[in-house]
Amino acid sequence: MAQCTTFTCMIIAGWICTLVLSGSSPDTLGFFAAVLAFCVVLTALAHWALAWLSHDLAFALIETLQMSIFDGIARASPGRSHQQRMGDIAAIATSDAELMERFYAHMLVDYLTAFLMPGIALVILLFVSPWLCVIFLPCVLMIVLAPLFSARWAKKQGKAVAESKSVLNSHIAELAQGWKDIQMFGAEGRYSMTLQQANARLNNAQRKYGARNGLEQGLRDGLMALSLIALLVASLNSSHDAGLSLAWLPFILSIGAAAIVPLLEVLQVGGQWGALRASAERIFLLQQLPEQVHDGLASINPQGHRLQFNNVSFCYPQSDTPVLNNLSFTIEPGERVAIAGMSGSGKTTLAYLLLRFYDPTSGTLSLNGTDLSAFSLKTLRQQIAWVSQESWLFNDTIENNIRLGRPDATFSQIEQAAKSACANEFICKLPQGYRPICTKGGENLSGGQRQRIALARALVSDSPVIILDEVSAGLDGENERLILAALESLPKTRTLIMIAHRIPMLKSAERILLLANGRIAAAGSFGALTAEGTSLSALLVNPHTK
Ligand SMILES: Nc1ncnc2c1ncn2[C@@H]1O[C@H](COP(=O)(O)OP(=O)(O)OP(=O)(O)O)[C@@H](O)[C@H]1O
């Protein structure tokens, strides 16, 4: 609409000049001047409406793209998303998505009208003089087709720019996250060199991209000037040979310009076509990430919580080293089991399999006799609360971070969970109690405090199975004792799986499963295992264990 009215304004202005040169009456001129004024107002309104609508459309589009990227990552997590660096994902979800938005929200309608205008102009020129139409058509075709010759080149360069941006973003994200370690080891120089190299690579890619884009722009401007000169020469010829009045010249030239200008505008933005295609490919890749595990049926619900590993073997994707080897054991409902073993023996991997972050390479895991894969992921994960070694705290209040375990929890339930996790005392000493925001994953809290909030999150949930991965690792003896007491007071219906290496935690378990070489090397109570002089004793004194 906005482009149509601009086009009409230019044609009417040219027509008025033609009328003046051909000596038309003031009444006729007045009429066309009024029409021109009306079109100018309409153009302004149309541009305003376009900006308004495209703004809304732009936001809706960016949101849709970002949600679909998030869905792809969630579907493929954690296995495939680990292969993508965080900075790269952030670049795809922000700059690539914005580039797509610029095309769809601002350009799609412009493209349609920009290609419509030359068609209308050609029909009008055909009526003025068919010869003009014959001259103008190849000019328009040249302007439109010229970018196709460099399309592959543009895509390659666009991809190089997008990839260089991602590498730079990933470096910056890594530097920001690991800054303390970099400073501690005095590696600022080395890392700033890496940053400089990434910057230089981006600069180089952008320079090449800009050089080609600039060349195309110059070519397009030259073609426009040539088209108008061709129209002028053709008009002069027609006036000589076919008696076309020279008064038509302003009208003919304004039609030519009105047809080409919007075309040039979209082609200029379309000069980013290469970057756009590269961005679309990168977004598409994340959106289409295959799922890590297939979801089960929402209609199936567990009838009990007996957990069984049946001949389970597992290798991580892209690795052929088996982590678990033909593992079989059962955990009864309400049992307190500790999983012990050397660092890297596969303890956390067991938790991943129970939560179905991965499926076993062979063998089955079942819940009360039903294969885990039969349940929907949502149902399964509602049965199991997991406190990982590095639980993430979101940029939200402590209260809401705990509430993640149970969205409808009342404040007193949250407070009770925090008390059981030995977190209430330190939370109450904070200036705003449960209200302070946990910044950057909880950087404003100590490691032990973060762990206790994560534990409270698991305790507030009503999941019948709780997996604790080294929860006491960051705690002092007193807090460890309090947490053990809290775990002891949990209803006996809740199954507790504790991945642990510290003696108090191991002692609190009814049964310890000792993992070695992907197998259960020994199983029994703490007393029995240490008395037998099994590898548990060795593990407890081995300085290389965690
Ligand atoms: N995403 C992965 N891809 C490939 N190998 C992995 C992956 N994650 C873990 N591993 C490997 O699997 C093995 C078991 O890892 P896991 O984290 O389960 O050990 P763990 O016993 O929990 O160790 P720790 O006590 O140090 O936490 C290790 O050798 C590790 O290198």
- Name residue 112's amino acid: L
Cα of 518 from ligand 1 centre, angstroms: 11
Cα of 17 from ligand 1 centre, angstroms: 80
Q: Is residue 302 part of a domain?
A: no
Cα of 316 from ligand 1 centre, angstroms: 9
Decide: 132 and 231 in contact? Cβ < 8 Å: yes
Answer yes or no: is pLDDT of 544 > 60. no
**Mind listing the pLDDT tens digit for each residue in 92-126?**
777 777 777 777 666 666 777 778 888 888 888 88
Decide: 344 in ligand 1 pocket, CB within 6 A: yes
Cα of 298 from ligand 1 centre, angstroms: 31
Which of 14-28, 65-79, 293-307, 420-434 has the lowest average pLDDT?
A: 65-79
Which of 171-175, 248-252, 442-446 has the lowest average pLDDT?
A: 442-446
Same-domain check for residues 465 and 375? yes
Which is more confidently placed, 517 or 327? 327
Answer yes or no: is pLDDT of 425 > 70. yes
Same-domain check for residues 265 and 394? no
- Number of structural domains (the chain) is 2
Decide: 518 in ligand 1 pocket, CB within 6 A: no
Same-domain check for residues 87 and 23? yes
Same-domain check for residues 277 and 324? no
Is the ipTM beyond the 0.90 threshold? yes
Same-domain check for residues 465 and 505? yes
pLDDT band, very low/low/confident/very high, at 64 (cuts 50, 70, 90) = confident
Beta-strand pair 336-341/511-516: parallel
Q: Residue 136: its pLDDT value, please?
A: 84
Decide: 357 in ligand 1 pocket, CB within 6 A: no
| Closest residue CA from atom 18 of ligand 1 | 346
Cα of 366 from ligand 1 centre, angstroms: 22
Residue 477: other Cβ atoms inside 10 A = 10
Answer yes or no: is pLDDT of 523 > 50. yes
Q: Residue 543: its pLDDT value, please?
A: 40
Report the mean per-residue pLDDT for the chain.
Answer: 81
Q: Residue 545: its pLDDT value, please?
A: 44
d(CA 29, CA 15): 10
Same-domain check for residues 199 and 315? no
Decide: 319 in ligand 1 pocket, CB within 6 A: yes
Answer yes or no: is pLDDT of 464 > 80. yes
Answer yes or no: is pLDDT of 61 > 80. no
Mean pLDDT calculated for residue range 131-140: 85
Pocket test for ligand 1, best of 349, 497, 519, 545 (most atoms within 8 A of CB): 349
Same-domain check for residues 402 and 524? yes
Which is more confidently placed, 250 or 536? 250
Mean pLDDT calculated for residue range 161-185: 80
Same-domain check for residues 180 and 266? yes
Cα dihedral across residues 357, 359, 360, 366: positive or negative: positive
Same-domain check for residues 270 and 359? no
Answer yes or no: is pLDDT of 81 > 60. no
Same-domain check for residues 91 and 152? yes
Mean pLDDT calculated for residue range 348-360: 91
Q: Which atom of ligand 1 is nearest to the CA of 389?
A: 27
Cα of 84 from ligand 1 centre, angstroms: 18
**Mind listing the pLDDT tens digit for each residue in 223-241?**
888 888 888 888 887 777 7
User: To the nearest whole percent, how much of the chain has pLDDT over 90?
Assistant: 12
Cα of 341 from ligand 1 centre, angstroms: 12
Pocket test for ligand 1, best of 314, 345, 357, 520 (most atoms within 8 A of CB): 345
Decide: 213 in ligand 1 pocket, CB within 6 A: no
Residue 20: other Cβ atoms inside 10 A = 12
Mean pLDDT calculated for residue range 374-391: 86
Cα of 497 from ligand 1 centre, angstroms: 18
User: What range does the domain containing 207 cover?
Assistant: 2-287
* Backbone angle region of 256, left / alpha / beta, with phi > 0 → left and psi within -120 to 50 → alpha: alpha
Decide: 82 in ligand 1 pocket, CB within 6 A: yes
Same-domain check for residues 282 and 323? no
CATH of the domain at 490: 3.40.50.300
Which of 81-85, 325-329, 372-376, 423-427 has the lowest average pLDDT?
A: 81-85
